[in-house]
Structure 1
Amino acid sequence: MSVLDGDGVDAQPGSGTALSDDFGREVTGVRVSLTDRCNFDCVYCHNEGLGDTRGPMEPSESEMSTDDVVRFLEVAEEFGVGKVKFTGGEPMLRQDLEEIIERTPDSMEVSMTTNGTFLPGRAADLVDAGLERVNVSQDALDPEAFAEITQSGAYERVMEGVQAALDAGLDPVKLNMVVFERTAGYVEGMVDHVAENDGLQLQLIEYMPELTGRPDWNIDIQRVHDWLADIADEVEHREMHNRKRYWVNGGMVEIVDPVENANFCANCHRVRVTHEGYLKGCLNRNDDLKPMGEMTKPEIRAAFRQTVADRVPYYGEYMVRDGEGGWEFNEKYLDGDW
């Protein structure tokens, strides 16, 4: 029996079985950018790997519509995708965010990454719509340092947003902190902060100089690992991405360290969607962008299948060791023969 998918084209019903790439990595999650607009201008931002394309604050006609986003998610569900994370830019600049979440397939776990400034007054509605988890970007507890890093004066508003998320039941709230030269001095304070405040967790994210163009801001993330290991009451190793969680005085701190990490890439189970409706198989690459056409379900299905089929682990395959301890591009993928 065929299914008429609303586009006037018969389509096979999804089996719910996740697609795998040639490296055995099942795609079980999607990360959907809803806009490249943002009310912050963070100095380290790479805009989901697309570079500094931040434009005017008014909505652009190029942004996926509400129906486009929902239609994509319905197709992703057919292919066994069980998780979606909404990102931006700042996703809460989308006034239809609650509708998008409410119309997300019930089988999907819904999370969001935000700078938190719009959570006061909206957090409860987002939870009612179906939001289950939230990450809030917070790179320092010092208002002046926060302003320098984010190019905004919204420190107090972010703190209010975190509390609004907790009050709405989004517990735990995970604070995202990018660790680089200008934030490293605030890591200790953030670790203490999550230990002293119930409902908060800390995610330390390795700075990605290849996406930001400022290698001089980089620090050795292993130093942070070593420091946390020395002070932690417990260390948990997560097989996914080979991550480590450190429990310090009751607070949970996790490090996300993808740079030059072949284990991280070997365990990646996500594809990404740009705000303009392009699929990409890897954060670090923009040479694999695939359009979804007019966003009909058949077009989305075809693009999704091809994106998964073409996925390549960035470190360990697309980038390979050069024999001297460094990394170089794998010519196999530069020649276009693959």
Structure 2
Amino acid sequence: MRIKRPLKTITDVLVFKTPLEAQLIITRRCNLSCGYCTEYDHTSDPVPLADLKDRIDAIHRLGVINISLLGGEPLMHPDLMEIIEYGSRHSQVSMTTNGFLLKKELIDRLNTAGLSNLQISIDALESDPTHYIQKSLNKLISKLELLKESATFDVHANVVMCEATKETFTETVNQIRAFGFYVSVGLIHNDQGQVQVQGDDYINLWDQHFANRASHTSLDYDYGRQLLQGQQPEWICRAGSRFLYIDEFGLTQYCSSQRNRLNKPITDYTRADLQAQFKERKGCESGCSILCVYRDSMLDNQPLAMVKDAYQSWQSGSISF
């Protein structure tokens, strides 16, 4: 991941305790229909640009470091470039995509708009005949080649570990790494965020992945391994404070799997809300495999370990400035 203005970022995070990330839903519409996904539809209109600008203004007022554009499939939003440009005024902007719509011209426009980071989701070597898994490497090889040739923003891939992907997991990861891209791993979860896989097969794959130091941090490794062992480590979730999730209606939620609990418009959200949610126990931490929320929460749960991991990530090249 590329970090803009690193000295200012460090000051804001450590001194002013600003949120690390705001995930902003810009459309629920998607061009795919993966069986494990609960965050898409094929009918809704994209969130209007004016509404998104109001929400981004609110995110900027809170001092959020990174705005992550999500869907559905964010590449389907007709005003995507203007959204990125607007968000980049006071934050860095990243995006998560399935990559199927990427073309050379579109990548060039993302470069010009100021995108900092792109995560492309790739789950298996080949599509599952049942269509449970649709984001396959064999359909995205040409997109990775385009990104390697043309992207000026940082690119990394995320692979979901589940029953449908475990047989080809290692080969999938190795082929993606051959492009020079960093690979992160997600553990499949239910609609409440609880991990849905465990056992020796998954533990062995997890260990192999993290044996490569270019993989993510030791915090991810230790926590994920405990989940795969059937344990439920205790931790304090900082969702609503260090991590924000803004749904398509502009409501602030804890995360994608814990919607309809907080429900406060981001345009009304204040620093007092950040402080209150920093202390609030969410009650859903046990068994949670929403690793992006866990990772952001660790800044306050285990600050020294977080600093060590950030340094190791910088040395390995998975964080750049």
- Residue segments in structure 1 that go unaligned for 5+ positions in a row: 1-15, 48-52, 246-254, 293-298, 328-338
Matched position secondary structure for 2:163 = coil
Deviation at 1:180, TM superposition (A): 0.8
Instruction: State which of 275, 278, 290 in structure 1 corresponds to 2:248.
Output: 275
- RMSD between superposed Cα atoms in Å: 3.9
User: Could you tell which deviates more after superposition, 187-196 or 83-92?
Assistant: 187-196
Does structure 1 residue 54 correspond to structure 2 residue 41?
yes
Deviation at 1:30, TM superposition (A): 0.5
**Number of residue pairs the alignment of both structures matches:** 271
2:25–2:69 Cα contact (<8 Å) kept: yes
Query: Equivalent residue for 1:265?
Result: 237
User: Could you tell which deviates more after superposition, 31-40 or 304-313?
Assistant: 304-313
Q: What's the TM-score once normalised by structure 2's chain length?
A: 0.70
Deviation at 1:156, TM superposition (A): 5.5
2:146, 2:225 → 1: CA distance?
A: 26
Query: Equivalent residue for 2:106?
Result: 122
1:272, 1:19 → 2: CA distance?
A: 21
2:119–2:155 Cα contact (<8 Å) kept: yes
Change in CA separation of 1:94 and 1:83 when aligned onto 2, cut-off 3 Å? same
Which aligned pairs between 1:127-276 and structure 2 lie closer than 5 A?
127-142=111-126, 144-145=127-128, 148-151=131-134, 158-170=140-152, 172-198=154-180, 200-211=181-192, 218-220=197-199, 221-228=202-209, 232=211, 234=213, 238=217, 242-244=219-221, 260-263=232-235, 265=237, 269-276=242-249
Change in CA separation of 1:244 and 1:102 when aligned onto 2, cut-off 3 Å? same
Larger Rg: 1
Deviation at 1:257, TM superposition (A): 8.9
Instruction: State which of 47, 68, 75 in structure 2 corresponds to 1:64.
Output: 47
Q: What's the TM-score once normalised by structure 1's chain length?
A: 0.66
Give the structure with the higher percent helix: 2
2:161, 2:26 → 1: CA distance?
A: 25
Query: Equivalent residue for 2:277?
Result: 311
1:146, 1:136 → 2: CA distance?
A: 22
Query: Equivalent residue for 1:10?
Result: none
Matched position secondary structure for 2:132 = helix
2:259 counterpart letter in structure 1: N
Instruction: State which of 91, 106, 109 in structure 2 corresponds to 1:108.
Output: 91
Change in CA separation of 1:78 and 1:19 when aligned onto 2, cut-off 3 Å? farther
- Residue segments in structure 2 that go unaligned for 5+ positions in a row: 1-10, 289-321
Deviation at 1:78, TM superposition (A): 1.9
2:217 counterpart letter in structure 1: R
Deviation at 1:131, TM superposition (A): 0.6
Change in CA separation of 1:42 and 1:106 when aligned onto 2, cut-off 3 Å? same
Deviation at 1:202, TM superposition (A): 1.1
1:202 counterpart letter in structure 2: V
Query: Equivalent residue for 2:31?
Result: 39
Deviation at 1:91, TM superposition (A): 0.5
1:95, 1:306 → 2: CA distance?
A: 35
2:17, 2:176 → 1: CA distance?
A: 33
1:136 counterpart letter in structure 2: I
